[in-house]
Amino acid sequence: MAVNFYEEVEDELLKFAVIIAKQQDKYVFCKHKDRNTWEAPGGHREPGELILETAKRELYEETGAVDFDIKQICVYSVIAKDNFNGQESFGMLYYAEIRSFENELHSEIERIIITDRLPDEWTYPQIQPRLMEEAKKRGF
């Protein structure tokens, strides 16, 4: 599996948004109801949706964030034999500073954690730690 980073690609290639989210300098991670692992908020772009709208929607759906600032970091891509027939798939990586959350989650996410350390058990261990590393290199 390969994870690559770019400054930009054609907009129509962007299929995903992943958000490195923090509140008061601590990371915000989410746990899906059907998994025992943690992940950064994010997900698939809907038809006709701007990639920034995807990021905002996924951040809200997966963390309950209602008041936040969000900034684009960079484009990332993943090449994996078992994904998209081995073709390179692209997403946009964002950083969000969350000020407040709704009282309850309304999606497939069971719960969130707010922590100063990265998870030991990642849902996507070959991808998301690399995204975190790249964001840190870029000052996020």
56-98 pLDDT per residue, tens: 999 999 999 999 999 999 999 999 888 777 899 999 999 999 9
CA atoms within 13 A on the CB side of 98: 23
- For the chain, the domains span 2-137
- The answer to pTM > 0.85 is yes
**CATH dotted code for 2-137:** 3.90.79.10
Phi/psi at 120 (5° precision): -85, -35
The Cα–Cα gap between 129 and 131 comes to 5
Question: For residue 49, which of 87, 83, 11 has the smallest C-alpha distance?
Answer: 11
The Cα–Cα gap between 21 and 18 comes to 9
What's the pLDDT tens digit per position in 92-131? 999 999 999 998 887 889 999 999 999 999 999 999 999 9
Q: Are strands 89-101 and 65-79 parallel, antiparallel or unpaired?
A: antiparallel
